[in-house]
Structure 1
Amino acid sequence: MISVAAIDARIWQAIVAGAFVAIGWIVNGWQNRRVAAALRAERTRDVHRALYAEIASCLANLDSPEALAAYRDAMAARMRDDPGFVPLIPRERNDTVFRALVAEIHILPRVTIDPVVSYYSQLFAIEAMIADMRGERFRALEPERRIAMYEDYIALKVQAFHDGHFALRMIDAYATDGRNGAMEEEARITREISAGFDTAGAAARAASRISSPGAVRSGRSPE
């Protein structure tokens, strides 16, 4: 006949074994979450770096709002002097990286995904405008209407310059100081705009740094 003490010992053995199994599940789950968070942070960093490089390259090609305005005025003057002149608008492709990563764009934190999407939305508007200006209907327009359309086209590029500069600053701030740093940078940009500062003036300098020092660091996990 099995004694009560023997039964109690078996119960305690089962309890201890169950406790070890439960602890193993907890530790394993914690380790899995830690690995997943590290992989997500690494992928966020990679996506940020790739987008930063593409945006910076485009900003470098745009040069500056002042350069764009000067080119606009020169082209408008030529169209006025020669009513038969129709500028050839080249096709552009400044979103190759974005299109390749669009399925993963959701891994970015809100503080950077918003300015990035805003910038690329502006590029899509420019592409649509270019398609219209390369058509026969544009060639058939009166000179003043062609000029107005061309000026709108340059205005879209100027806005893309500002949007791109904003996206670069937000990516850099997030890579350096995480979500809080990016939110502080966003507030700083808002204050600069309210004060009338030319926040895009630094965009040319940012664009010349194809890889931001901050973006090289491991990205924070999205918050």
Structure 2
Amino acid sequence: MSAATEILRDPRIWQAVVAGAFVAVGWLVNGWQNRRERYADRMERLRDSHRAIYAEIGANLFNLGSPEALTEHAEVMCARMVQDSGFVPFVPTERPSPVFDALVAQIHVLPRVSIDPIVAYYLQLRAIREFASDMRGDVYAKLSPERRSAIYRDYIEMKIQAFLFGDHALRIIAEYAAEGKDSAEDLARRLSNRGGDRSDP
């Protein structure tokens, strides 16, 4: 009988093989469970982040009203500025974005399909805040009525664009939650092809 055969007949060898197999299977199972738990945790953070951002953007859009309402407001205010040279419209301080500010460090948890419209919306808000800050200064108040009117119209146009960006983001988030990633990406492509047309189903 060869030495190899003697070794294979040794029960201690088979005990070691079985023990090693159990350890290897344990590593595989443990790794799979860890990956599954990490995936579940990421999905939970994604859903929570989407819900929070959806609520913040939704509240802001509710306050804006609609592009039509904003356009009508601009017409009234601009006409008043031209008719009354002493009238300077009150430009309120823009509201902060506490939810987005809190989540921005972890924004990578969001899918690409929703990151783009969300970031576009909040960058537009930042531009509006900076523009509004300039309008509250003395320089704006001292401009001619026609110039003040033109700047105010630009300010409202920026708000309309913010509304459209926000509406786009809400639709993508809602589609992702209801139908999943592929459907949200399909909607994003359709919105992009139509320039964000709000009539798209």
- Look up the match of 2:135: 133
2:71 maps to a residue whose letter is A
- Look up the match of 1:199: 198
- Look up the match of 1:168: 170
- Look up the match of 2:125: 123
- Look up the match of 1:152: 154
2:74 maps to a residue whose letter is R
Larger Rg: 2
- Look up the match of 1:214: none
CA–CA distance in structure 2, aligned partners of residues 129 and 179 of structure 1: 36
In structure 2, the CA distance between the partners of 1:198 and 1:25, relative to structure 1 (3 Å rule), is closer
Q: Which has the higher contact order (CA 8 A, sep 6+)?
A: 1
1:147 maps to a residue whose letter is S
CA–CA distance in structure 1, aligned partners of residues 144 and 92 of structure 2: 21
Q: Is the 8 A contact 1:54 1:94 kept in 2?
A: no
TM-superposed CA distance for 1:92, in Å, is: 1.5
CA–CA distance in structure 2, aligned partners of residues 37 and 141 of structure 1: 57
TM-superposed CA distance for 1:189, in Å, is: 2.1
1:107 lines up with 2:109 in the alignment: yes
Residue segments in structure 1 that go unaligned for 5+ positions in a row: 203-223
2:198 maps to a residue whose letter is T
Q: Is the 8 A contact 1:89 1:133 kept in 2?
A: yes
Correspondence 1:1-223 to 2 at 5 A: 4=6, 8-191=10-193, 193=194, 198-199=197-198
Aligned length: 198
TM-superposed CA distance for 1:145, in Å, is: 1.3
Q: Is the 8 A contact 1:161 1:200 kept in 2?
A: no
Listed one character per residue, the Cα deviations across residues 19-76 of structure 1 (whole Å, up to 9, x for unaligned) are 1111101101110111111111011000000000111111111111111011001000
CA–CA distance in structure 2, aligned partners of residues 142 and 159 of structure 1: 26
2:54 maps to a residue whose letter is Y
DSSP 3-state at the match of 2:87? coil
In structure 2, the CA distance between the partners of 1:81 and 1:201, relative to structure 1 (3 Å rule), is farther
TM-superposed CA distance for 1:15, in Å, is: 1.4
TM-superposed CA distance for 1:7, in Å, is: 6.4
Listed one character per residue, the Cα deviations across residues 106-129 of structure 1 (whole Å, up to 9, x for unaligned) are 100000011000011110010011
TM-superposed CA distance for 1:178, in Å, is: 1.6
CA–CA distance in structure 2, aligned partners of residues 53 and 98 of structure 1: 11
CA–CA distance in structure 2, aligned partners of residues 170 and 5 of structure 1: 65
Q: Is the 8 A contact 2:172 2:184 kept in 1?
A: yes
DSSP 3-state at the match of 1:199? coil
1:43 maps to a residue whose letter is R
After TM superposition, the score normalised by the length of structure 2 is 0.91
CA-based RMSD of the aligned residues comes to: 2.1
CA–CA distance in structure 1, aligned partners of residues 56 and 200 of structure 2: 19
Q: Is the 8 A contact 2:8 2:14 kept in 1?
A: no
In structure 2, the CA distance between the partners of 1:6 and 1:117, relative to structure 1 (3 Å rule), is closer
CA–CA distance in structure 1, aligned partners of residues 199 and 80 of structure 2: 28
2:117 maps to a residue whose letter is P
2:124 maps to a residue whose letter is Q
